[in-house]
Chain A
Amino acid sequence: MSVTEAPTTEQEQTPGRPARRSLNDLVRLTEIDTRMLGMLALLVIIWVGFNLLSGGTFLTPRNMWNLTVQTSVVAIMATGMVLVIVSRNIDLSVGSMLGFVGMFVALLQREWLPQLIGFDQWYTWIIALVAGLLLGAVLGSLQGAVVAYAAVPSFIVTLGGLLVWRGLAWVMASGRTIAPMDSSFQLLGGGARGTVGGTVSWIIGVVGCVAIVLLLAFRRRTRLKFAFRVRPMWAEVALMLASCAAVLFAVWFLNRNFMPEGLAMAYAERNGLDWPEGGLSIPFGLANPVLIAIGTALVMSFITTRRRFGRYVFSIGGNPEAAALAGIKTKRTIVFTFMLMGMLVGLAAVVQVARLNSATSGLGTLHELYVIAAAVIGGTSLAGGIGSIFGAVLGALVMQSLQSGMVFVGIETALQDVVIGVVLVAAVAVDVLYRRRADR
């Protein structure tokens, strides 16, 4: 049986067979993930669709800029959720944990630290940030340890966490709302001052562009050194140009979100600029939370694809028994996955509290579902073993685009949930179909 099957599979996948140059073959030569292309296409359709429905107000620099900021918190957590789900686990507690850590960080800077160091020290935000990351890591490890060593299913452990952290968030502040936040801490959440400005944004864009080119060139060189097959040169160059163009276009577009007159005037005064007749167009530049999210995604992507830990998480998701037989410390790996998830929740909590400039005991409610949905829409398989960081970030962007878009065109809240729910199920259904086809 397997004898007759073997040659067929081989033939199908042997490269270089004489074939019609269909679009499929061209795409295959560029080694671009068609799933990702599909997701990007979906995003564009959503954007253009809402733009048409809203009479051209959706695809404006201001709205897109806001969209990037709103996406950050979910995107940060979704990168961690990918690894958790890939390892055949789930974390239902991230929303509540965000509430708990957020409340802790808020109390720390409003009520506990000032007794020691006073208000508004320049380093208050650093203490708050580190405390948030550490607390998240501890809570995550705790849940991870119960999952790995006590062998309680992660669904149950984190369902418990969902209740426990939410309850503790309320208890910690007796249900009060804590506000406002430390002035330097607020910058982590974006807002009018929490941006890097137009020039720095351009620099970041150019650096990103150069990094992409270098990375692709370096990979090509390594593969050539080993005499492996590489993309055709035209595909390589096209990929470099396309990625660069995309990055620079995004920066250009977002940099067209200019400060309103009042802010611009204040800015001009601070920086000793003359105020001309028609006013000044001063871009906000990329917002801090967006940069934090991008940085997080890059680091997580690196950990996932270039480090042993990432490889181990995927092997556990693919075949836990094989991973153990290969000598991988599977339990420790699982604990580390949850710890990382917790740290990212801590980071997201800091950003969220800074952005809202307050903490309530309801902070982060339902976020576990948005985060899981983002990861799943981004191609993470709940069966484990499959997922990508980039996909999850795109998934977060899709979710947020839908939500903001529906607010924009005035769809009432109840119907928004209906649409999101339908999209989630549809996205996974399409994904399952796609994989089934790809598997053949």
Chain B
Amino acid sequence: MRGNGAPLVEMKDMNVSFGGVHAVEDVSIDLFQGEVLGLVGGNGAGKSTLIKTLSGAQEPDSGEIYLNGELIRIENPRDAKRHGIETIYQTLALAENIDAPGNMFLGRELTTPLGNLDDSAMEDAARRILARLNPKFENFKTPVASLSGGQRQSVAIARAVHFNAKILIMDEPTAALGPAETEQVRQLIRQLKKEAIGIILISHDIHDVFDLADRISVMLQGRLVGTVNKDDVTTDEVLGMIIMGKLPHELTTSELADLHG
């Protein structure tokens, strides 16, 4: 997976602080084509803040972002989307009062030649893509507020994958889902991976990450503990990184045993 040319995206020495508190401190991660990078860490580890600098939701204090080896600037969500970076936020970021097609195309509406909203075309596109993601999806005309958690998640995912993303950021994509829907999302991630999309997967579920990720980056208190190949580590060793901030070779046997305590 690694080594064939420049990474799809490389974030170098990212720093974000909120009033003196370093939310993200000198963090560098990279992501290759067709790779799933698991980004894990406890609450407040800085995962979400870090990826927000990539999706344009948060301007970093310093740091550089390279896309295919080229330095790019991401100052707002529009910049990120222009570079093919799509994000599924943990909060889903849906306008509750607007229907599914409206949310999917929010900010990128399809219009008629006269510049009017082409609701039919948007509904058509939404029907096509949601038929693939969630065959049971039916409510295209009701505000998303009236949809179930799984359906809302489907809308958020549909929005991200519809616009031919090159890089997909998924922040806890299965947090609100039941087992069947979670499996659907996993299938989707595997499929997108085959389509050579790079995926950053943030999850608190270590099993999710082990199942799907190729490499795992671990953050603790705003700093990067390290990035490891999934095949080289055990879940316990990753837990050790998450909790104690120690790389696998730094862990003692007794510390490993404590993790199970």
Query: Which A residues lie at the B interface, using CB under 8 A?
Result: 2-3, 5-6, 9-10, 13-15, 222-223, 225-226, 228, 305-308, 311-312, 314-315, 317-319, 321-328, 385-386, 439
Tell which of B39-47, B109-117, B239-247 binds the partner: B109-117
- Would you call B177 and A327 a contact (CB within 8 A)? no
Complex CA–CA separation, A140 to B145 (angstroms): 32
Contacts of A314 in B (CB 8 A): 95, 97-98
- Beyond A6-B149, A9-B146, A10-B138, whether A323 also contacts B120 by CB under 8 A is no
Known: A311-B98, A328-B107. 4 other contacts (CB 8 A): A13-B142, A226-B120, A322-B91, A327-B107
Least distance between A136 CB and chain B CB atoms (Å)? 25
- Residues in A neighbouring B103, C-beta threshold 8 A: 322
Chain B residues with CB under 8 Å of A327's CB are 76-78, 81, 107-108
Q: Is B102 an interface residue (CB 8 A)?
A: yes
* Contact (Cβ within 8 A) B117 A5: no
B228 to chain A, nearest CB (A): 31
Within 99-157 of B, Cβ neighbours of A (below 8 Å) are at: 102-103, 106-109, 111, 115-117, 120-121, 123-124, 136, 138-139, 142-143, 145-151
Sorting the interface of chain B by its residue count into under 10, 10 to 19, 20 to 34 or 35 or more gives 35 or more
Q: Which of B94, B98, B178 contacts A3 (CB 8 A)?
A: B178
A439 touching B145 in the complex, CB below 8 Å, given contacts A315-B106, A325-B57, A385-B96: yes
Q: Evaluate whether A318 and B149 lie within 8 angstroms (CB atoms) in the complex, with A223-B120, A226-B124, A327-B81 already known.
A: no
A–B Cβ pairs within 8 angstroms, 22 of them: A5-B149, A15-B138, A225-B120, A226-B120, A311-B102, A311-B106, A311-B109, A318-B96, A318-B97, A318-B143, A319-B93, A319-B94, A321-B91, A323-B95, A323-B106, A324-B77, A325-B77, A326-B77, A326-B93, A327-B78, A327-B81, A327-B107
B257 located at the interface, meaning its Cβ lies under 8 Å from any Cβ of chain A in the complex: no
What CA separation (Å) do A386 and B146 show in the bound complex? 14
Residue in B106, B116, B117, B179 with the greatest tally of chain A CB atoms within 10 Å: B106
Q: How far is the CA of A323 from the CA of B93 in the complex (A)?
A: 8
Report the minimum CB–CB distance from B184 to chain A (whole Å).
12
Is B72 part of the binding interface, using a Cβ–Cβ cutoff of 8 Å? no
Residue B32 CB within 8 A of the other chain = no
The docked-state distance in angstroms from the alpha carbon of A15 to that of B81 is 36
Across the two chains, which residue of chain A brings its CB closest to B111?
A308
**Cβ-closest chain B residue relative to A14:** B138
CA distance A308 to B177 in the complex (A): 32
Taking the closest CB of chain B, its distance from the CB of A227, in whole angstroms, is 9
Indicate if B196 sits at the interface (CB-CB under 8 A): no
A9: chain B residues at CB < 8 Å are: 146-148, 151
Query: Residue A322 contacts which of B76, B94, B116, B176 (CB distance < 8 angstroms)?
Result: B94
